[in-house]
Amino acid sequence: MKKNSFREKKENGVLARVAEKALPGGFDWWLFTLTVIILSIGLIMVLSSSGIVAEIDNGDKYYFFKRQVVFAVAGLLALWGAALMPRAWLYKLQYPALFLSLLLLLLTLSPLAPAINGARRWIPIGPISIQPMEFVKISMALYLAYFMSSKQDLIKTFSRGVIPPFAVTGLFCFLLLLQPDFGSSVVLASLLFFMCVAGGTRFIYLFFAMALVVAGAMALAIASPYRLRRLLAFLDPFADPSNTGYHLVQSLLAFGSGSFLGVGVGASKQKMFYLPEAHNDFIMAVLGEELGFVGVSVVMLLFTMLFWRCYRIIMGQQDLRDRFTAFGLTVIIAMGCVMNLAVVMGVAPPKGVPMPLVSYGGSNLVATLLCVGLLLNFSRTAEGWKRSS
């Protein structure tokens, strides 16, 4: 009787967990609210930073803003679809998503993809262009989470625990370098590193892998003198302010002009053809000029709160694969935020990394909102935060 009673309780517990995963509700509404607030700030800044360029290049000062609104609506639909998706469906996608991402990257290297500023990173589809890299990150997070959770007994071995994820990531990084897109390959390598640390990979393997990556990056930089000058420009951008240091010099001037309270929304001077990519990769510089130190601090506080909610969701997962997947999705958003700020503030070499939820761009915005939607999905089964929120 005791054995039967124990078995019944165990079965009831399993059924309860399955039912909880299957039924909608219990979302982390704080995460959703913070996402919408940051997205709203981003739309305002896109409108402010792109008006002049849009009017001269497209004859409509609201051109980029209207497109960003459409991207935001599409992204929010993707968010809710991901939030309501049955977990079993999601976990059947790791290999199809990986192969689709590989196919899309190969298409960027074909004649179907136009070269823009010397790089083939976009696939034109009618009036829009898709940047596959933004969705490669999500597919890689799904694959690495699956590998780290299902191979825990092999993760500390070299042949079966290290080579497979490193080989898959290396293939995607190689294709990105062919575009060429050095910054995105760094993002993927960083995602692999953090997932390996969380998964329990031996430190000695990570150390040698990092040494090889650094050596390879140095070789690529030395092989291209201009790339080396660009990489080193952040150390002293004012040494060549009209060439390799131009982007960073204009970005720093924007932050300096903003001072404490900023010059006011819409009053930026650097966006008037001084600062390239003012509505895209360097939009935080325009935000710093118009809203000042206070505005940048508020945005950083909002992101900090958003990452705190993500952390609560990660730690609330009882299933190892759920926890690794939520962690990988959070790393994607966090890396975008940190790397963008590091570039616009001159802490890191210039790389084309947009600010999540703020910068103009459909692929990045939709992919980021898709990550948030999946995190909302995991918040339905997170234990602990519901009682304390």
Amino acid at the residue 120: R
Q: Please check whether residue 205 lies inside any domain of the structure.
A: yes
How many domains in the chain? 1
d(CA 68, CA 74): 10
b/e code 21-37 from CB counts within 10 Å (16+ = b): beeeeebbebbbebbbb
Q: Please check whether residue 224 lies inside any domain of the structure.
A: yes
Q: Please check whether residue 257 lies inside any domain of the structure.
A: yes
Backbone φ, ψ for residue 232 (5° rounding): -90, -5
pLDDT tens, residue order, the chain (389 aa) = 444 444 444 444 443 443 344 334 488 999 999 999 999 999 999 999 988 888 888 888 899 999 999 999 999 999 999 999 998 899 988 899 999 999 999 988 888 777 777 778 888 887 888 888 999 999 999 999 999 988 887 777 877 878 889 999 999 998 988 888 778 888 899 999 999 988 888 888 888 888 888 887 777 777 766 667 777 777 778 877 777 788 888 888 889 888 888 898 888 888 887 888 788 889 999 999 999 999 999 999 999 999 999 999 999 998 999 999 999 999 999 999 999 999 888 888 777 789 999 999 889 999 999 999 999 999 998 876 544 44
pTM: 0.88
Q: Please check whether residue 1 lies inside any domain of the structure.
A: no
3-state SS assignment for residue 119: strand
Bond before 180 cis per omega within 30 degrees: yes
Q: Please check whether residue 152 lies inside any domain of the structure.
A: yes
Q: Please check whether residue 22 lies inside any domain of the structure.
A: no
Q: Please check whether residue 375 lies inside any domain of the structure.
A: yes
Q: Please check whether residue 10 lies inside any domain of the structure.
A: no
Assess contact for 54 and 349: CB atoms under 8 A.
no
| Closest CA relative to residue 135, chosen from 364, 375, 374 | 364
Range list of H helices, 85-202: 87-90, 94-108, 133-150, 158-161, 163-178, 182-199
Range of the domain at 56: 28-388
